[in-house]
Structure 1
């Protein structure tokens, strides 16, 4: 089934009152400007840069929350945890499980997995454009990863170049910035 056919099926089952075979027509029939504004941050998210690393801001108050988490060693009390490189820590903040972006589901539950995959495809494309527009000098990847035993279907964002340089005070074993500059 093609992407448009699957989108058409999902939208038709979620909104049977819309009389259209074109998935594009659904936003004008079922949504409004306030909803569109709300979702604009999902498709063209704010980005924050902390200590040379780019983070997607999808949750609100992200810059403060991420900076605080990075400054608080998370492995203290967990001596069995392996050390984590700075780049791995940054990447861990840029993983988004698609089914967990929302607390509600419109339409039949059996469509949820297909809807998440369709959304993921769209987000990968728009997030790549967002990163290219904001950081044309960097090479960042955006990819969708299948669900497994550890996580659901997800999008992972990672910076390839330039290489991320650990900030002063980064302690990979403790997984935090222990000395501030």
Structure 2
């Protein structure tokens, strides 16, 4: 069964009161402009650039939150943690488990995996277009990664070119940007 047929079946089971022959008809019958507005950010998310790295803004106050987290040495108290490169740190902020984007679920449980997979494939395409439109001079990889023991089905975004350069003060062992206030710029 192809993706469109699966999507139609999921929508039919989730909205049995809608008499539609195709998936496209559901948005006008089961949705409204307020819902569309609420999800606009998901399909065309804000992007935040900090220290030359691009972050997908899916949380709200992303710029302040990410900047604060990057300035906090995350590995202090964890000497067993391996060194993390700047690229690895940036990439870790740009991984999103699809099923955890939402706190609610709708429709039959047996369609949950298909729903997340279809949504993920749509988001991969729209996020790729968003990044290309905003940063035409850079190349990004946007891909869906299968669930494993560490995480559920997820989308990972990483900058491929140009290579990211660690900001002044980046400490891979401590996993933070450590600025010495006594050291002049």
What is the TM-score with the length of structure 1 in the denominator? 0.99
Structure 2 residue 136 is matched with structure 1 residue 174: no
Distance 1:20 1:31 in 2: 13
1:157 lines up with 2:157 in the alignment: yes
Count of aligned pairs: 181
By how many angstroms is 1:15 displaced? 0.6
**SS of the residue 2:9 aligns to:** helix
CA distance in structure 1 between the partners assigned to 2:141 and 2:38 by the alignment? 25
Partner in structure 2 of residue 85 of structure 1 = 85
Task: Give the root-mean-square deviation of aligned CA atoms.
Answer: 0.8
Q: What CA distance in whole angstroms lies between the structure 1 residues aligned with 2:45 and 2:156?
A: 14
Which runs of at least 4 in structure 1 moved beyond 3 Å after TM superposition?
none
Secondary structure, in 3 states, of the residue corresponding to 1:49? strand
SS of 1:75's equivalent in the other structure is coil
Counterpart in the other structure of 1:136:
136
TM-score normalised by the chain length of structure 2: 0.96
* Structure 2 match to 1:3: 3
**Runs (5+) with no aligned partner, structure 2:** none
User: The residue matched to 1:158 in structure 2 has which SS?
Assistant: strand
Aligned match of 2:74: 74
Q: CA deviation at 1:21?
A: 1.9
Decide which moves more: 51-60 or 105-114: 105-114
Question: Structure 1 unaligned runs (5+)?
Answer: none
SS of the counterpart of 2:24? Answer: helix
In the TM superposition, what whole-angstrom CA distance separates every residue of 1:2-46 from its partner, at most 9, and x where no partner exists?
111000111001111110120011111111111000100000000
